[in-house]
Structure 1
Amino acid sequence: METNPIPVLTIQTTPFDDQRPGTNGLRKKTTVFESRKNYLQNYIQSVLSSIDLRDRQGCTMVVGSDGRYFSRAAIEVIVQMSAANGIGRLVIGHNGILSTPAVSCIIRKIKAIGGIILTASHNPGGPAGDFGVKFNVANGGPSPDTVMERIYQVSRTLEEFAICPDLRIDLSRLGRQDFDLENKFKPFRVEIVDSVEIYLNMLRGIFDFGAIKSLLTGPEQLKIRIDAMNGVMGPYVRRILCDELGAPANSAVNCVPLEDFGGQHPNPNPSFAVSLMESMKGGEFGFGAAFDADGDRCMIIGGHPWLRSQHAHQHSSGQGGQGNEGGYVRNPRRLEVFREPDGLGQVLFLWRESFGTGSDHIREKDGLWSVLVWLSIMAVRKQGVEEIVRDHWAKLGRNYYCRFDYEGVDPRAAFYLMRDLEAMITDKAFTSQKFAVGNNVYSVEKTDNFEYIDPVDGSVSRNQGLRIIFTDSSRIVFRLSGSGAGVGATIRIYAESYERDPERHSRETQVVLGPLIAIALKISSIHERTGRRGPTVIT
């Protein structure tokens, strides 16, 4: 039966002045996207218009979400606008679900021009929660500053957007859906793909699944507890860790993606992953993990001292399975160290203070990859997380770390605080400063506003944090976060200290870093200038 072509409409609009994307795209309260007329449409048009028409026409894009409230409605708008703007093919996860690492993987696998991810990461969901639109480019990674600036400049002058309001898709039906449009950009195709399969196939090529399965199912079975926190990772945890690698079904909890994440913050840290922390205290589990909403970050928790005595001698590499140098990750390479902002450049192994790790298998952080790395190491060394970490500290030293987050700060107060702080620490006189706190004396060695030049594409990421580095390698970092949802600003204070002496590796973090935090609070006057008595969250 022949159907009429779907009409393409051009709708007049007016620009918004608050659509500058932050570190991870545009994040706002959900009500902003849902209730402000054309707010979502304007931003999607700005993203699509930032792609040169010659590249856009007939190209392939990937679309996924972490399942939060408003995602399905937003995906429908993205499909309608992609069709009207000349995109030839959209690849979308089943029911709209795709983790951020899976989107990056699929972009690279099918050579798409980029992908749109609907997520506000660890921020809460639901009608009263947060929503976000993130655009990843053709290498699978987040948009560099140049692309985000281009999107913002388009958004400031936008007068119209193109859309096919009559186009409807079924996100629940796997397979291809083709549409005929009333314009020169035709045909238009949507492919609904299994949310897990392509990403799983990539992991099979990286890890020795046989070794991990033996760890989770063998006679000396490691019992694990994995909390998906009702975010996007539920289907991935069930399919990969339970079905593929043999972990019992009850190893995984909170695996149904919910629009409001069960009313919880999908933030994998001790403050929010409370049920996991309580489960691990009982001593039943030897390994625990929790994921954020979109699956790019993961907290790893060590449990009871699994197989400590009988296998302490099996530390050598190569015992984890066939085909593996080192036994756990295929094709290891020499490590070089880079300091980078969010995203990945020329990196083999990435770690971030906010529970984010990754590698060069994609251009994103990857929470499940991190879990599989740990399980692979445990399979080879026959040791628990704590033993492995303490052995690492004994050889290389321990880095103590903490972060204070001040959320919802008045944006003007935050701007002027950071401006004045930068002027203070970059003054020549500051580099000769010494700070005495109790029995500790810290001498400033270097200060800067960190910026980074990507060795792959040459792009520059500026204003990545005000750093104060001391002569003993301790440091304080102040950063105005770009990952909030637009209601106030978030100021983050980081404190780090290196300890080489193994005798001092068991001290409490707050004891070690307390003097650095005291210095940070004093020179920034953050409590006086923001009216706060303390941070919103301590990590």
Structure 2
Amino acid sequence: MKYFGTNGIRGIPNEDLTTELSMTVGKAVSTYFNSKTIAVAKDTRISGDMIMNAVISGVMSTGTDVKYLGILPTPGLQYYCKKHNLPGIMITASHNPPEYNGIKCIASDGTEISEESEKEIEDLIDSKKFKKVSWKSSGRLYPESNAIDEYINGIMSLVDVDKIRDRKFKVVIDTGNGAAYFTSPYLLSKYNCHIVSLNANPDGTFSSRNSEPKPENLGDLISLMRSGNFDIGIAHDGDADRCVFIDEHGNFIDGDKSLALIVKYTVKNGDTVVTPVSSSDALSDICAEKNAKLIKTRVGAPIVARTMIENMAVIGGEENGGIIYGKHQYCRDGAMTLSLMLNLLASEKKTLSQLLNDIPDYTIVKSSVERRRGWEEIRKDLIERIDKKIDETDGLKILEDEGWVLIRPSGTEKIIRIYAESKSRDKAAELSNKYKSLLNELI
């Protein structure tokens, strides 16, 4: 893809993501959708107003009206699009650092658009064959104030609210100054939780912590969980389509384990679960135990979501805290994920650490190297140097004797990602270091 990556178009505003490109993207997206109205929202990044206004200008120049939903998690916009049968555009760079921003396109069913649709939009960007109207027919901008309540009520309709409220959970939530700064604390208050919030103010520089909810970025949340008497800690990324958890002892829970846990208590005999090849084998073990079918795809939430739709899967997700609950909508949703976890804790009447004791224990070590050569060249060199069985569903997944290693180019950054898994933490680290060294040598 020339403009689109794994999750939309991303770049640094005024460098590669210019206002000129953003306006052109707005014209192309609106021409492609050919809808009377498009819904638009953004996260809290400083450049959000600039990029959004450029996109909106492009949209309105084609005669399309804009429903502006304000600052909203990406899944909040997606829910609005699904409920009102409208396409949408989200201005966000998700977990990327604050200097980045991006443009995501949402179909009228609430899913991120397909790769085929992205290619058609890219062709329009290059050909500049945009719809154009007279001044009297240009689009108008209409603020929308009900999107948050619609989104929150939709989530609450799918869990046992009374059971959650009865538990009066003590929760620490870190929204990372991102798009969920209001929505997630608001949702937790509706669940009758005792809430301590961290970084629940919109700050486009993410001055409190890096946007990606990794252990090294959640020191304050982890420290608070260890020092207080809390039931669970929750953290989001910049646009809140992901959610990670800290247990009652202050231990960070890897996304693959929270996914496996929620799947364990959600799926039934014969259900289908979808996940990328980057996910832990713990999920494979859980699905075998529950007699559920597991389908593995290329990495990318839109790919997982569309595979779920095609196979009528009840749940799916990624190892990064992105869970997709089919009964709600076919996209990653951090607020839905935290609701499913609270519902599970309330129903089982156990602590998070107790529930995790029943999840198969695997360790994934993640690392990366800078991509300074073309991926295809690197890929060919790797294949020549590896004498193990390789799965090429996405990148190269090397099946080792005591685990596996996935090597693939990032769709959002100029890096090559390395995922190494084993039942032994030391072995996972050894595999990670082995292939990181090999990559550095080849690059």
Shift of 1:400: 2.0
Shift of 1:518: 4.0
Shift of 1:280: 1.9
| Structure 1 counterpart of 2:51 | 74
1:491 counterpart SS class: strand
| Structure 2 counterpart of 1:288 | 233
1:32 counterpart SS class: coil
Higher-Rg member (1/2): 1
- Which structure dedicates a bigger proportion of its chain to helix? 2
2:381 to 410, 413, 420: 420
| Structure 2 counterpart of 1:150 | 120
| Structure 1 counterpart of 2:295 | 338
2:406 to 448, 458, 477: 477
| Structure 2 counterpart of 1:92 | 68
Alpha carbons of structure 1 residues 233 and 330: separation in structure 2 relative to 1, 3 Å: farther
State whether structure 2 residue 136 is matched by structure 1 residue 182. Answer: yes
- Structure 1 residue runs of 5 or longer lacking an equivalent are 1-17, 165-180, 217-221, 306-325, 434-443, 451-463, 500-506, 531-539
1:266 counterpart SS class: coil
| Matching residue's letter, 1:469 | L
Which whole-Å CA distance do the structure 1 matches of 2:114 and 2:130 have between them? Answer: 25
Q: How do residues 276-355 of structure 1 correspond to structure 2 at under 5 angstroms?
A: 276-304=221-249, 334-335=271-272, 336-340=293-297, 341-342=299-300, 343=302, 344-345=305-306, 346=308, 347-355=313-321
Residues 232, 246 of structure 2: 8 Å contact kept = yes
Alpha carbons of structure 1 residues 469 and 153: separation in structure 2 relative to 1, 3 Å: same
Alpha carbons of structure 1 residues 478 and 226: separation in structure 2 relative to 1, 3 Å: same
Residues 413, 529 of structure 1: 8 Å contact kept = no
1:5-64 per-position Cα deviation (integer Å, ceiling 9, x unaligned): xxxxxxxxxxxxx95210111111123267x4612112222322333xxxx152x32211
Residues 403, 492 of structure 1: 8 Å contact kept = yes
State whether structure 2 residue 187 is matched by structure 1 residue 246. Answer: no
1:103 counterpart SS class: helix
State whether structure 2 residue 38 is matched by structure 1 residue 61. Answer: yes
State whether structure 2 residue 395 is matched by structure 1 residue 465. Answer: yes
Alpha carbons of structure 1 residues 160 and 358: separation in structure 2 relative to 1, 3 Å: closer
| Structure 1 counterpart of 2:428 | 513
Residues 10, 93 of structure 2: 8 Å contact kept = yes
2:67 counterpart SS class: strand
Q: How do residues 72-471 of structure 1 correspond to structure 2 at under 5 angstroms?
A: 72-87=49-64, 89-93=65-69, 96-112=70-86, 114-125=87-98, 129-158=99-128, 182-183=136-137, 188=140, 190-216=142-168, 222-242=169-189, 244-249=190-195, 251-262=196-207, 264-304=209-249, 334-335=271-272, 336-340=293-297, 341-342=299-300, 343=302, 344-345=305-306, 346=308, 347-360=313-326, 361-390=328-357, 392-393=358-359, 397-407=360-370, 409-410=371-372, 412=373, 414=375, 416-421=377-382, 423-424=383-384, 433=387, 444=388, 446-450=389-393, 464-470=394-400
1:156 counterpart SS class: helix
| Matching residue's letter, 1:41 | M
Which whole-Å CA distance do the structure 2 matches of 1:329 and 1:337 have between them? Answer: 14
- The alignment yields a C-alpha RMSD, in angstroms, of 2.8
Which whole-Å CA distance do the structure 1 matches of 2:202 and 2:147 have between them? Answer: 13
Shift of 1:207: 0.7
Alpha carbons of structure 1 residues 73 and 518: separation in structure 2 relative to 1, 3 Å: closer
Which whole-Å CA distance do the structure 2 matches of 1:400 and 1:304 have between them? Answer: 19
1:292-313 per-position Cα deviation (integer Å, ceiling 9, x unaligned): 00001111110139xxxxxxxx
Which whole-Å CA distance do the structure 1 matches of 2:206 and 2:380 have between them? Answer: 37
Residues 124, 264 of structure 1: 8 Å contact kept = no
| Matching residue's letter, 1:236 | T
- Structure 2 residue runs of 5 or longer lacking an equivalent are 251-262, 273-292
State whether structure 2 residue 14 is matched by structure 1 residue 44. Answer: no
Which whole-Å CA distance do the structure 2 matches of 1:447 and 1:492 have between them? Answer: 16
Alpha carbons of structure 1 residues 419 and 46: separation in structure 2 relative to 1, 3 Å: farther
Which whole-Å CA distance do the structure 1 matches of 2:172 and 2:9 have between them? Answer: 33
Which whole-Å CA distance do the structure 2 matches of 1:447 and 1:529 have between them? Answer: 18
Which whole-Å CA distance do the structure 2 matches of 1:202 and 1:110 have between them? Answer: 13
Which whole-Å CA distance do the structure 2 matches of 1:419 and 1:260 have between them? Answer: 40
Alpha carbons of structure 1 residues 162 and 71: separation in structure 2 relative to 1, 3 Å: farther
Shift of 1:206: 0.4
Residues 291, 297 of structure 1: 8 Å contact kept = yes
Alpha carbons of structure 1 residues 279 and 103: separation in structure 2 relative to 1, 3 Å: same
- What is the TM-score when the length of structure 1 is the normalising length? 0.68
1:244-286 per-position Cα deviation (integer Å, ceiling 9, x unaligned): 112234x222111212122632111101122112212224322
Q: Percent identity?
A: 22
2:294 counterpart SS class: coil
| Matching residue's letter, 1:81 | G
Shift of 1:140: 1.5
| Matching residue's letter, 2:367 | F
1:421-471 per-position Cα deviation (integer Å, ceiling 9, x unaligned): 2x437xxxx5xx4xxxxxxxxxx3x31321xxxxxxxxxxxxx32111246
Which whole-Å CA distance do the structure 1 matches of 2:164 and 2:207 have between them? Answer: 31
2:54 counterpart SS class: helix
1:123 counterpart SS class: coil
1:337 counterpart SS class: strand
Number of matched pairs: 400
2:90 counterpart SS class: strand
Which whole-Å CA distance do the structure 2 matches of 1:86 and 1:419 have between them? Answer: 48
